[in-house]
C-alpha cells in the first residue's frame, strides 16, 4: 500500500465511521508508523475550547445524573451495537495510527464492545450496602451518586480501548466525559466519537448536549482538564513521567484520579514449567505489539536448571519472527511508533551492553520506507538486574536473567518501580500459590501459566507503585466514577446518639 493509498484508506475509513471533520484542516499532522508519512492534518483545540467543553459537560452533568441508571445503560447498549457495526473500520484506524496488526486492532475494538456489555449489566447493579446500625429504630445504608465530569487522557499505544473502559462506566454511572487522546492517535478518537454520536442520535432526548466530547491536541489540553476544579475525576493513561506531573496537580485541588502508568513487567520460569507453553506465552508477551503494551513482558527470570533449554528456544523464536507492515504482510511484529521510540531502544541496548549484557537482535529492519521504524525484537541476557533493566523502555526488549533461589527471584521481580503485570510459569502448587500470596508478586495483575499481556475487561485493570495505583474496567472499578453517601434514617420516636453519648437539653 502506497502512502497515498494509506491516506485515502484513512479518509474512507473515517467517513465510514461518520466523521465529518476536515482531515486537511490544521497544524496537527497525523503520521502513520506503518510508513512514517502523514495521513491527515487536524485542527487542534485551544485552552479556551477546553474551558468551553468543560462548561458544557458540567451543564450536561446536571441533566444526565437525573436519568435513571438503567436508561443510561441503554445508551451504552446502543453504543455497543454501533461499535459492532464499525468494528472493521475502527480496527483499521488502530492499525493505521498505532501500527498494530489487524488482529490486534480488532482485538482492541472487541474490548470496547465487551466493556459496553459489562456496563449495560452494571447499570442495574450500582449497589450500595445496607449496614447494621447500633441505634434502635434506625437504618443505615450507602447510596452511590453520579460524581461529575470525567476527564480521560489516553496514550498512543491503545488509541481507543482505555477510553471505552472509562467512558462506558462513566456514562452508566451518570458522568459526562471529555477525552484528550494522544496527539499521536487523534483520528481513532474522532472515529470513536462519531460512532458514539450515532448511538446518541438513536437514544433520543434524554442525552444532553456535550455528554461526550473530544479535545484534539497536546499535553496542554490534558493540563486544562487536570487543573480544572470542574473536572471531578481525571483518568490518565500514559507514562509514569506524565503521572508524576498529573497526579500531584489533581491532588492539589482535591480532585480524584485514576492513574494507569508504565510497567516493567516480568515473568518467572520455574523448573516444572511447561516449556512449550511458556515459550509461546513469553514470545507473545514480549514481542506482541512490538513491545508497546503497558503489559509487555520486559524481564524474565529463568531457573538455572532449564535456562539452557528455554533461552536458546527463545532466541530461535526471536531470530525467526516476521517483522513488517502488518496491513501489507502477515508480519507478527509491526513498527515502533516513531524515531524517538527507536532512539530509546538503541540507547537501552547500548546501556545493557555496558552493564555486561549480551544482546541478540534489536537491529533496524529494512522493510519499509526510511521514515518508518521497524526493528527486530531484542533478547538480552543480563548477568543481573542492573542498568536499563530497572526501567520501562517502550520497545521490544526482553531482559533475561538466571536465578537459583525462588525467594530471591521474587525479591528481584518486585525490586523495580513498575507494578503492573506479572506471570509465573510453573506446575508446582507451592510456587504458584506463593507467587499469588502476600509475599509474592506486588503487581496489580499476577498470572499463572499465561503471559503478562492480554487482560480481560471483567477484572479490574491497573497496577501498584509507579504504575499509579488506579483501577479501571471490570470488578468494582465503577466505584471511582461515583460518590458514596452514607445515609442514616431514624424511624423511631427517640433520638439515641451514636456511641451512647448523652446530650439532654
Give contact residues for ligand NAD (rule: CB under 6 A).
153-158, 180, 182-183, 218-219, 222-223, 226, 237-239, 242, 245-246, 260-263, 294, 392, 394, 420, 467
Q: How far is the CB of 226 from ligand NAD (least distance, A)?
A: 5
Q: How far is the CB of 255 from ligand NAD (least distance, A)?
A: 13
C-alpha cell at 35: 510508513
Q: With respect to ligand NAD, which residue has the nearer C-beta, 265 or 385?
A: 265
Q: Is 81 a catalytic residue?
A: no
> Alpha-carbon Rg of the chain, whole angstroms?
24
For 465, the enclosing helix (H) or strand (E) is: strand 464-465
Q: How far is the CB of 447 from ligand NAD (least distance, A)?
A: 16
- From residue 355, how far is each of 163, 266, 416, 501 by CA, in Å? 39, 19, 17, 66
- What is the CA 392 to chain-centroid distance, rounded? 15
- What is the CA 147 to chain-centroid distance, rounded? 22
Tell which residue, 496, 501, 502, 500, has the closest CA to residue 136.
496
Under a CB-based contact definition with an 8 Å cutoff, are residues 249 and 283 in contact? no
Q: How far is the CB of 28 from ligand NAD (least distance, A)?
A: 11
Q: With respect to ligand NAD, which residue has the nearer C-beta, 18 or 36?
A: 36
Beta-carbon neighbour count of residue 434 at 10 Å? 18
Under a CB-based contact definition with an 8 Å cutoff, are residues 420 and 320 in contact? no
Residue of 260, 381, 392, 472 marked active site: 260
Q: How far is the CB of 99 from ligand NAD (least distance, A)?
A: 13
Name the closest residue to ligand NAD (Cβ).
222
Q: With respect to ligand NAD, which residue has the nearer C-beta, 146 or 468?
A: 468
Q: With respect to ligand NAD, which residue has the nearer C-beta, 113 or 155?
A: 155
Name the H helices within 386-471.
Answer: 406-414, 429-436
Dihedral sign for Cα atoms in the order 300, 305, 309, 312? positive
Name the H helices within 259-357.
Answer: 275-287, 307-320, 339-354
Q: With respect to ligand NAD, which residue has the nearer C-beta, 282 or 445?
A: 445
- From residue 277, how far is each of 212, 398, 424 by CA, in Å? 43, 17, 12
Q: How far is the CB of 335 from ligand NAD (least distance, A)?
A: 15
Q: With respect to ligand NAD, which residue has the nearer C-beta, 89 or 260?
A: 260
Per 3-state DSSP, what percentage of the chain is helix, strand, and coil (rounded to 5)? Answer: 40, 20, 35
Residues with a catalytic annotation lie at 260
Amino acid at each position: 500500500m502506497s502512502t497515498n493509498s494509506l491516506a485515502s484508506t484513512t479518509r474512507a475509513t473515517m467517513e465510514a465511521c461518520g466523521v465529518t471533520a476536515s482531515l486537511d484542516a490544521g497544524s496537527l499532522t497525523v503520521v502513520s508508523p506503518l510508513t512514517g508519512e502523514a495521513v491527515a492534518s487536524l485542527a487542534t483545540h485551544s485552552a479556551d475550547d477546553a474551558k468551553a467543553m468543560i462548561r458544557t459537560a458540567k451543564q450536561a452533568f446536571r441533566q444526565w445524573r437525573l436519568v435513571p441508571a438503567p436508561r443510561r445503560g441503554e445508551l451504552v447498549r446502543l453504543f455497543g451495537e454501533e461499535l459492532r457495526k464499525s468494528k472493521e473500520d475502527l480496527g483499521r484506524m488502530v492499525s493505521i495510527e498505532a501500527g498494530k496488526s489487524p488482529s490486534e486492532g480488532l482485538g482492541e475494538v472487541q474490548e470496547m464492545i465487551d466493556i459496553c456489555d459489562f456496563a449495560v449489566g452494571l447499570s442495574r447493579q450500582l449497589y450500595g450496602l445496607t449496614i447494621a446500625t447500633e441505634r434502635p429504630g434506625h437504618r443505615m445504608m450507602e447510596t452511590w451518586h453520579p460524581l461529575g465530569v470525567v476527564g480521560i487522557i489516553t496514550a498512543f499505544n491503545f488509541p481507543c480501548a482505555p477510553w471505552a473502559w472509562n467512558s462506558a462506566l462513566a456514562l452508566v454511572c451518570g458522568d459526562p466525559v471529555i477525552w484528550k487522546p494522544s496527539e499521536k492517535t487523534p483520528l481513532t478518537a474522532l472515529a470513536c466519537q462519531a460512532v458514539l454520536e450515532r448511538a446518541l442520535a438513536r437514544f433520543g432526548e434524554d442525552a444532553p448536549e456535550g455528554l461526550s466530547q473530544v479535545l484534539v491536541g497536546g499535553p496542554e489540553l490534558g493540563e486544562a482538564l487536570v487543573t480544572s476544579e470542574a473536572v471531578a475525576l481525571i483518568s490518565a493513561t500514559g507514562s509514569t513521567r506524565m503521572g508524576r506531573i498529573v497526579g500531584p496537580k489533581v491532588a492539589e485541588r482535591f480532585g480524584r484520579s485514576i492513574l494507569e502508568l508504565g510497567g516493567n513487567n516480568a515473568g518467572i520460569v520455574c523448573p516444572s514449567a511447561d516449556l512449550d507453553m511458556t515459550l509461546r506465552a513469553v514470545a507473545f508477551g514480549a514481542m506482541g505489539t512490538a513491545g508497546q503494551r503497558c503489559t509487555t513482558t520486559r524481564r524474565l527470570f529463568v531457573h538455572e536448571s532449564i535456562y539452557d533449554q528455554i533461552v536458546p528456544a527463545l532466541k530461535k523464536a526471536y531470530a525467526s519472527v516476521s517483522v513488517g507492515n502488518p496491513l501489507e504482510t502477515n508480519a507478527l511484529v509491526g513498527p515502533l511508533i516513531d524515531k524517538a521510540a527507536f532512539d530509546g531502544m538503541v540507547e537501552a541496548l547500548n546501556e545493557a551492553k555496558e552493564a555486561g549484557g549480551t544482546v541478540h537482535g534489536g537491529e533496524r529492519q529494512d522493510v519499509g520506507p526510511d521514515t518508518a521504524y521497524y526493528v527486530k525484537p531484542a533478547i538480552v541476557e543480563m548477568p543481573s538486574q542492573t542498568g536499563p533493566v530497572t526501567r520501562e523502555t517502550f520497545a521490544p526488549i526482553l531482559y533475561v536473567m538466571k536465578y537459583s533461589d525462588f525467594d530471591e527471584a521474587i525479591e528481584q521481580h518486585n525490586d523495580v518501580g513498575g507494578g503492573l503485570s506479572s506471570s509465573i510459569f510453573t506446575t508446582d502448587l507451592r510456587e504458584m500459590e506463593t507467587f499469588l500470596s502476600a509475599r509474592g508478586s506486588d503487581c496489580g495483575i499476577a498470572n499463572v501459566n499465561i503471559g503478562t499481556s492480554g487482560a480481560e475487561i471483567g477484572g479490574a485493570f491497573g497496577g501498584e507503585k509507579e504504575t499509579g495505583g488506579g483501577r479501571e474496567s471490570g470488578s468494582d472499578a465503577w466505584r471511582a466514577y461515583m460518590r458514596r453517601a452514607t445515609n442514616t434514617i431514624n424511624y423511631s420516636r427517640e433520638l439515641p446518639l451514636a456511641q451512647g453519648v448523652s446530650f439532654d437539653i
